[in-house]
C-alpha cells in the first residue's frame, strides 16, 4: 500500500518572512503565532517576519521560530487535507519536535516550551564546550569515519549518500576538513552554527533536557514517528521521551530514516515548514520518490492538487 510521510525541517531552514503569507491569510496560522509570545517570552512574530537574519540565526531564536513556523504550516495543511490513516512522520533534528507535535504527543504550548528549553541548553553547552560543524560532500562514510577517528571530530548527521556532517572542537573539525579534502572530498563547507550539535560536546544539554522532559506528560503518538537516533517508527510516549534525550548528543540518522520509510511503503514525502532542505536530501536518497512541500499558498495549492 502506498503511504504518505510528512517531514519537518530543522535548524538552517530559517529565513526572514517565513510563514507570513499563511499568517496573513489563515486564522489557524495567525492563532498559532499570536499565542507563541507568552511561552517564548519575546516577540517571535517580529523576529520571524522582520529579522534581521543574524538574530534569527542565533540558536536561541532559530529553534522556537522554526518550530512555530512549521506548526503554522501544518495547521493550514491540516485544514485543507485532514490526515487519513497510513501517514507517518519524521523531523530532522529540531524538526523532530514538530513531528511529535503533529502526532499529538504534546500540545503546541508544551512543544514550544520544550523547544525553547532545548535551545537554551544547547546554547549553554555550546558556550561551555565551544565547537563547530562542517558538511563533507562526496566522500564515503568509511573514509569520513576514519578521518574522524584520527582527528577527534565526530560524524553527527548522516544526511544522504555523499553528504555527511562532522562536528567537534574547532581544531578537530579544521583538521578533519583538511584531511577530507586531501582524500578526495568534492567539497567541505563549514556551517554557520554556534556549536557542535549532536556531538558528545552536547552531553550536558542532553542531561538537562532529560530533566525537562521528565516534567511534562507525553501522550502516545497517533501516527508513527521515525526518530532521529535509531531511524525506527515510534509511538510509545516513554520511548519517545528516551529518544529525545539521546537525540541531542547522538547523530541524526536521516538517510536511514528515509530508507526505512521507503521500505515501509512510503512513496510520497511532504516537507511541511520553511524551505526545501529536506526535499533536496530525500531526492539524493531516492530519485524516483514524489516530494511536495507546504510553506506558502502556492506550494499548499500545488500539494493539495497532487494529493487529490
Q: Which regions of the chain are under pLDDT 70?
A: 1-2, 84
What's the pLDDT score for residue 192? 82
Contact by Cβ (8 Å): 218, 111: no
The grid coordinates listed for 170 are 574547532
Give CA–CA dist 65/240, Å, rounded: 23
Q: Tell me if residue 80 is catalytic.
A: no
| Residue found by looking up cell 506550494 in the block | 299
Q: Write the CA distances from 193 to 4, 54, 58, 121, 140, integer angstroms.
A: 32, 11, 8, 15, 24
Among 113, 198, 206, 250, the active-site one is 198
Among 13, 36, 93, 113, the active-site one is 93
What's the pLDDT score for residue 1? 52
Contact by Cβ (8 Å): 251, 153: no
What's the pLDDT score for residue 299? 97
Question: Closest Cα to residue 63, out of 137, 131, 126, 135?
Answer: 126
Contact by Cβ (8 Å): 225, 240: yes
Question: Closest Cα to residue 233, out of 96, 95, 108, 88?
Answer: 88
Give CA–CA dist 252/49, Å, rounded: 29
Q: Tell me if residue 198 is catalytic.
A: yes
Amino acid at each position: 500500500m502506498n503511504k504518505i510521510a510528512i517531514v519537518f525541517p530543522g535548524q538552517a531552514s530559517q529565513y526572514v518572512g517565513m510563514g507570513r503569507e499563511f499568517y496573513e491569510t489563515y486564522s489557524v496560522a495567525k492563532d498559532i503565532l499570536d499565542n507563541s509570545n507568552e511561552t517564548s517570552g519575546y516577540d517571535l512574530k517580529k523576529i520571524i517576519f522582520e529579522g534581521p537574519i543574524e538574530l534569527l540565526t542565533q540558536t536561541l531564536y532559530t529553534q522556537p521560530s522554526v518550530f512555530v513556523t512549521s506548526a503554522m504550516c501544518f495547521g493550514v495543511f491540516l485544514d485543507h487535507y485532514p490526515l487519513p490513516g497510513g501517514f507517518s512522520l519524521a523531523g530532522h533534528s529540531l524538526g523532530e519536535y514538530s513531528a511529535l507535535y503533529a502526532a499529538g504527543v504534546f500540545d503546541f504550548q508544551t512543544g514550544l516550551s520544550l523547544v525553547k528549553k532545548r535551545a537554551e541548553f544547547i546554547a549553554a553547552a555550546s558556550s561551555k564546550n565551544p565547537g563547530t560543524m562542517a558538511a563533507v560532500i562526496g566522500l564515503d562514510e568509511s573514509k569520513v569515519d576514519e578521518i574522524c577517528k584520527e582527528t577527534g571530530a565526530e560524524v553527527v548527521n548522516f544526511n544522504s549518500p555523499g553528504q555527511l556532517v562532522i562536528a567537534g572542537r574547532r581544531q578537530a573539525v579544521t583538521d578533519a576538513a583538511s584531511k577530507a579534502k586531501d582524500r578526495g572530498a568534492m567539497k567541505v563547507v563549514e556551517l554557520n552554527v554556534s556549536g557542535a550539535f549532536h556531538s558528545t560536546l552536547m552531553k550536558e544539554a542532553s542531561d538537562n533536557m532529560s530533566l525537562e522532559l521528565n516534567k511534562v506528560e507525553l501522550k502516545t503518538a497517533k501516527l508513527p514517528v521515525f526518530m532521529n537516533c535509531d531511524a525506527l517508527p515510534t509511538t510509545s510516549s516513554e520511548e519517545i521521551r528516551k529518544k529525545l534525550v539521546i537525540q541531542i548528543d547522538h547523530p541524526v540518522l536521516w538517510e536511514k530514516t528515509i530508507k526505512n520509510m521507503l521500505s515501509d511503503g512510503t512513496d510520497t514525502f511532504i516537507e511541511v515548514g520553511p524551505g526545501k532542505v529536506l526535499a533536496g536530501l530525500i531526492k539524493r536518497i531516492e530519485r524516483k520518490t514524489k516530494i511536495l512541500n507546504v510553506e506558502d499558498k502556492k506550494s499548499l495549492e500545488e500539494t493539495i492538487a497532487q494529493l487529490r
